[in-house]
Structure formats: C-alpha cells, structure tokens
Amino acid sequence: MVFVSITENEPDQIRRVAEGLGEEFGLEVDFYGIYGEDADEDPLVFHELAERSKRADFVYVRCMGDINRFKKWERYEAALKDIRGFPAVFSGNPEVNVMLRDLFRGEESEYRELFSYVRDRCPENDKGIIQWGMHKLGFIQKRPDPPIAHRLFGIYHKGMPSDISLDDYLSTLDPGKITIGVVFSASSWVYGMLEHVDALVEEVERQGMNVIPLFLSGFSKEMEGGVAGVLKRHFTKDGKPLVSAIISTSRLTLDDPDHDRCLDEWNFYRNSLNVPVLFGLGVYGKYNDFEDDKVGLAKRDMQMNVIYPELEGCIIGVPIACKTRVEGTSRYLPI
C-alpha cells in the first residue's frame, strides 16, 4: 500500500491502521507513506514514490483542498493512470474530487461508499478505508463497519466527561477569576493526541485563571454559522466576551461556510471578539533541534506558525509543543 498526504493525515497514523489490519487478518502489509512536499523537495523521494506506486495494490491519496499543493501532482497523476493497482484520490474540495473522479476504477456506488469513510477523519474511518480496499481487491472477505461521524466541536478538559455540555462546563468555573479560551484542532481530540493541550490548560489553571478549552474542525462547512458561529457560542454571552484572551494552536477563523476563500471581513477574532489572540507554536522535530537550528523554521512550520496566524491577526507567541515520533507515532509533546 502507498499513502500520500497532501497537508492531511499523518502517514504514521495510516501506517498503524494498515499494519493493525494486517495482524487482524493475517496479512503481511508493505506500507509506504509520505507527505507530498517530501517528494516535491527531493527528486529521489519522488522517484521512490512513483516506483512503489507502480508495484502497489492500493494507492490512497488524501488532500485537504488544492491538490496542486503537491507541486509534482501532474507528474504523479500521469503515473497513477498507468499503475496496475487500485488508486483512490480524495480531497476536501468537492470540485477537486470531480476533476479526479476518473482515477477511481470502481463503480459509482463503490466510489460513494469509499468516500463516505473519507468525509470524517478518525481512526475508525481510516480503518474502514483500508479494509474496504483489502475487501475490494480480494485479500479479505469481511467488509468494513459503516463509517462514523465524530463531533465537529466541543469542550474538552482532562478528567471531565468527554461529552460535557458548554453550560455544565461553564458552571464549574470561578466567576471571580480571569477566563482564557484555548482553541485547538478537532483532529487532536479525535485521535487522542492531547498531551500538549492538557499541559497548556494545566499551566493556565496553575496561574490562577479559568480555561474554556474548545476543539473544532476549521474546515467543515456543516457547523451552524461556520467556525465563527461556534466561537461566538462558546466565547460570548449576550454579545459580550466570556474570555479576556485566547490561546490558539490552529488556523481556524478565516472562513465562510459558503466559500473556499479566506477574507479579512470574515475574521471573527478581529471583528467580533476583540480580545488578544496569542498563537502557540507547534514545531516539527525535537525542541532542541528547533532551538539550535541556525536556519530557522522549516517550510511547514512557516505556513502553520507564521503565515496563517498573521493572516488571522494573532500575536505570534512561543513554541508550546514539538511534533516528534514516540513509539512509532508522530505526536505533539508539550514543551
């Protein structure tokens, strides 16, 4: 199996799922997964990707939006048309999916079935995608369980019920204390990668403040009022802010539920909330590497930690987490 992530799932996440299915069904899984930008930056990596794709039984490409973020996509697309295996390419942008539909070699009903797993990222649906491929190609007889949908947003606080309501959570706060909002990606909650969030919340509380920790998906158009609507319901009451400041760890607010573009007038932080928003940096690699590196932030770090926060009008803060491998899994660890 080959997996290509274009600013989407961690390849390690998909590797664990594929190898777990191999153990479950007694199959030997030869997995190769990379980020598209890795192939962009190194011709040898692209060559290996193309060669492995030719030999693969199942090739899964997952893209957040614009497929051309993978700059060598046109070359790779040409290679996919000639492979002997089964390619499946999906994007978070419906228009991109229409353009790439002809790469899928199954029936329309099969395309819709597989797409139903892709729509909601979570470990259960990742398993469903790969198990679907194993069943389609005749390696196993068991079909995957139906796809599931996790919550797109909600309150998360370590030690409290996972489904706690906003009203119930607010009732636990001390009205005599300053309240800080913490915003983080729903994928961290879905995949249980919350060490850095727990550490941040604990430190804010240790310094004598309340915290409203909110996870949400910044790219779903199914939330009422979009991202701005979720932020408004959780961080304001009767038109007034419930928080004195926000610490954000993810690009979220430059959106409109009916568009793919990002315009300044849609920025809820700037136009409606009017409190300081600090951006907590999450850097790739061990923190010592970041601290000692004379070059500075890597390309991926620049996009997530500088470009997006500046577009949102955030105050660029300090690194709060570093993304590194722990027992074969890439995850953010608190600094």
Are 61 and 161 members of one domain?
Answer: no
Which CA distances in Å does 108 have to 26, 61, 111? 30, 18, 5
The residue behind tokens 């980020």 is 35
- Rounded Cα distance between 77 and 89, Å, is 10
Are 50 and 171 members of one domain?
Answer: no
The confidence score (pLDDT) of residue 299 equals 65
Are 10 and 125 members of one domain?
Answer: yes
144: in domain: no
145: in domain: no
Cβ burial of 243 (10 Å; 0-12, 13-18, 19+) is: buried
Query: What's the domain range around 45?
Result: 2-136
Are 176 and 243 members of one domain?
Answer: yes
- Rounded Cα distance between 68 and 48, Å, is 20
Are 177 and 126 members of one domain?
Answer: no
- What is the mean pLDDT for each group of 10 consecutive residues in the chain (335 residues)? 86 91 96 91 94 96 86 94 93 86 92 90 93 96 94 94 94 96 91 92 97 83 75 90 91 53 60 83 66 63 73 80 68 79
Are 29 and 178 members of one domain?
Answer: no
The domain that holds 108 is classified in CATH as 3.40.50
Are 30 and 85 members of one domain?
Answer: yes
- Rounded Cα distance between 298 and 283, Å, is 9
Which of 109, 136, 163 marks a domain boundary? Answer: 136
Give the type of residue at 291: E
**How far out from the chain centre does Cα 20 lie?**
21
146: in domain: no
Which of 106, 136, 166 marks a domain boundary? Answer: 136
Contact 133, 119 (CB under 8 A): no
Are 52 and 185 members of one domain?
Answer: no
Nearest residue to 18 via CA among 73, 56, 66, 72: 56
Contact 277, 248 (CB under 8 A): yes
What is the token pair recorded at 47? 């060559």
Are 219 and 179 members of one domain?
Answer: yes
What is the token pair recorded at 226? 């979009």
7: in domain: yes
> Concatenated DSSP letters for 250-301?
S--SS-BTTBSS--GGG-HIIIII-S-EEEEEEEES-HHHHHH-SS-S-HHH
Are 329 and 181 members of one domain?
Answer: yes
What is the token pair recorded at 46? 């692209």
148: in domain: no
Q: What is the CA radius of gyration of the chain?
A: 21
- Rounded Cα distance between 323 and 329, Å, is 10
Which of 105, 136, 167 marks a domain boundary? Answer: 136
Cβ burial of 126 (10 Å; 0-12, 13-18, 19+) is: buried
- Number of other CB atoms surrounding residue 263 within 10 Å: 10
Are 273 and 321 members of one domain?
Answer: yes
Are 115 and 228 members of one domain?
Answer: no
147: in domain: no
The confidence score (pLDDT) of residue 296 equals 63
Q: How many domains does the chain have?
A: 2
Helices (H) then strands (E): counts for the chain: 15, 13
